Structure 1
């Protein structure tokens, strides 16, 4: 215990000297940080908008077919509910089975549509993100940033370089860059 007490003032002195030395070194070499809001890039960059339009075109026909099938199923169900009280038992059971089968088919097609759409959306967004990351790296190297963050709890707006990245992405897309 005595040796700990004897060395304690030395530890305090060393810590005090370290805090004095760090600010002098930090002044000589300034740390530069930036932030990119990827959600904004996905909403505002022309390549992201083009990817969204491509997906809409690619999936619009299937989506319309699903909406039509859903509406037809709803109409058939409503018709069955109106007519069921006057139907023969065997006829009512047969129509009920048909409706259950149609609903099962509709649910399967809707699930497959959602899975396909999600997979394609992830592919397209991955390409946009890859391109955005290349542009972020170019901006960081050109403007001598030490670090660029994409996720943060709080960012002072003066460190947000999202506009620069979106402009650079849009400019390079116009010049045939991908």
Structure 2
């Protein structure tokens, strides 16, 4: 059952619809603006947090990055050594190729191809492991940041906190407060 107001609006829109669609659109937009105005007049408090800055500049993020780099340093060095070995063997092959027999040339080409395949596989595995480990560490930071954001929102009376927007006024940016709550 429609209210009297809804019935009047409905009949007015239907009457206008017969005459002019542009007027109908204007009436609907005007009605929407009239309804939305009281909500905006109440003074909604909005904040913004840059997740990117938190994951790049906060103390926990820097500590996690250092921990992961230390963890993978040995494997990274192994990959660099393997790449250097492949490069030196390829240079040696290029130098020796004119004097090698056909069978020796084919044999060394296969060895180089196997070494290159092994290097590519190890790089792929390294990158997958590194990304997985990084995501594990940074997901903990995001959880802590979310908890800090909720706490700040409750303490300071925020109605809405947005993460990662295209453009933001510095007066609503609370990223520094979140980083401080995370320990720096």
Please tell me whether residue 83 in structure 1 is matched to residue 96 in structure 2: yes
Per the alignment, residue 53 of structure 1 pairs with: 66
Please tell me whether residue 169 in structure 1 is matched to residue 182 in structure 2: yes
Instruction: Please list the CA deviations of residues 8-28 of structure 1 after superposition, one character each: whole Å capped at 9, or x if unmatched.
Output: 9xx98998688567645644x
Per the alignment, residue 63 of structure 1 pairs with: 76
Return 5+ residue gaps in structure 2 as ranges.
Answer: 1-10
1:4 pairs, out of 6, 10, 15, with: 15
> 1 CA distance for matches of 2:101 and 2:28?
95
- Pair 1:14–1:116, CA change in 2 (3 A): closer
TM-score (norm: length of structure 2): 0.81
Aligned residues between the structures: 168
Return 5+ residue gaps in structure 1 as ranges.
Answer: 172-178
Cα RMSD of the aligned pairs, angstroms, is: 2.9
Per the alignment, residue 144 of structure 2 pairs with: 131
> 1 CA distance for matches of 2:30 and 2:97?
88
Per the alignment, residue 148 of structure 1 pairs with: 161
> 2 CA distance for matches of 1:81 and 1:16?
78
Query: What is the CA-CA distance between 1:141 and the residue it aligns to?
Result: 0.6
Query: What is the CA-CA distance between 1:49 and the residue it aligns to?
Result: 0.7
TM-score (norm: length of structure 1): 0.83
Query: What is the CA-CA distance between 1:123 and the residue it aligns to?
Result: 1.0
Query: What is the CA-CA distance between 1:89 and the residue it aligns to?
Result: 1.2
> 2 CA distance for matches of 1:13 and 1:100?
72
> 2 CA distance for matches of 1:81 and 1:165?
57
1:19-58 equivalent positions in 2, closer than 5 A: 23=37, 26-27=40-41, 29-58=42-71
Secondary structure of the residue aligned to 1:103 is: helix
Q: Which runs of 4+ in 1 moved over 3 A?
A: 11-27
Deviates more, 1:103-112 or 1:12-21: 12-21
> 2 CA distance for matches of 1:4 and 1:162?
52
> 2 CA distance for matches of 1:15 and 1:74?
68
